């Protein structure tokens, strides 16, 4: 079975500060990990994904995430928050033996304080 | 390239009424997913199609929910009769192939059951 835990349903940061959104996964097989962003009244948009290879993954809008197998984590970071980063962020996991079924975390709402 | 289209965007109905949602995936995408996203939660898979066949509908409440993708292109999701707890955003997503692919999401249909 696979699952995702996102610690912190709400995160607030000041504009220009570091953004850190936490994601831990559970998977009995090598996982494929994703971060999606959801703006109000919109669908989910892919930020970045890890499948194989380099464990540090860079995505759109300056975000990046590092796959740490020993910690079963895939935390999302951005060095400097921008007002436009305010949104809901979802971590998701899938694997090659689950028919591409995705398991999503409960989401983290990011607020950026001017 | 056009994205995933969904309609309607919003729907308000009374409990015990019926409702239907429509999704048109990205052209050429063989795999289509319907998710239910309850407020404050991550998306939960309801049903997954590969072309016009069902791959996974284990979490679809079959006593009231049904879905079809007759020609392997667009799809409809129906709820009959609706309950208060069905109030949610219904997201449609598609992928080109079945495994390890990025899911592209539509804007969702927001359903309110009164």
Q: What is the mean pLDDT of chain B?
A: 92
CA A36 and chain centroid, separation:
6
- Spell out which chain B residues touch chain A, with contact meaning CB-CB distance below 8 angstroms: 4, 31, 33, 40-45, 48, 55-56, 91, 93, 95, 98-108, 110
pLDDT-derived band at B80 (thresholds 50, 70, 90) equals very high
Which of A44, A99, A102 has its CB closest to that of B98? Answer: A99
Quote the tokens at residue B29. Answer: 């995408």
**A97 and chain B in contact, CB less than 8 A:** no
Q: What is the pLDDT of residue B94?
A: 92
Of A106, A103, A79, the residue nearest A90 (C-alpha)? A106
> What integer is the mean pLDDT of B57-77?
93
Overall average pLDDT of the A42-65 stretch: 92
Q: What is the pLDDT of residue B48?
A: 92
Question: Does position A21 have pLDDT exceeding 60, yes or no?
Answer: yes
CB of A86 within 8 Å of any CB in chain B?
no
């Amino acid at each position: 079975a696979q699952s995702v835990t996102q610690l912190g349903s709400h995160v607030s940061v000041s504009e220009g500060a570091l953004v850190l959104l936490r994601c831990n996964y559970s998977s009995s097989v090598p996982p494929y990990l994703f971060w999606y962003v959801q703006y109000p009244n919109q669908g989910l948009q892919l930020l970045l994904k890890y499948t194989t290879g380099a464990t540090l993954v860079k995505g759109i809008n300056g975000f990046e995430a590092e796959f740490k197998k020993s910690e079963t984590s895939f935390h999302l970071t951005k060095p400097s928050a921008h007002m436009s980063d305010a949104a809901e962020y979802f971590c998701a996991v899938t694997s090659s033996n689950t028919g591409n079924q995705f398991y999503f975390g409960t989401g983290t709402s990011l607020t950026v304080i001017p | 390239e056009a994205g995933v289209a969904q309609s309607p965007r919003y729907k308000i109905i009374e409990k015990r009424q019926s409702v239907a949602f429509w999704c048109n995936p990205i052209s050429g995408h063989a795999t289509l997913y319907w998710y239910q996203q309850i407020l404050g939660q991550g998306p939960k898979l309801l049903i997954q199609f590969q072309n016009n066949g069902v791959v996974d509908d284990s979490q679809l409440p079959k006593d009231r929910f049904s879905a079809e993708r007759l020609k392997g292109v667009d799809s409809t999701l129906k709820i009959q009769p609706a309950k208060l707890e069905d109030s949610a955003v219904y997201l449609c997503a598609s992928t080109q192939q079945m495994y390890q692919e990025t899911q592209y999401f539509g804007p969702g249909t927001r359903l309110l059951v009164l």
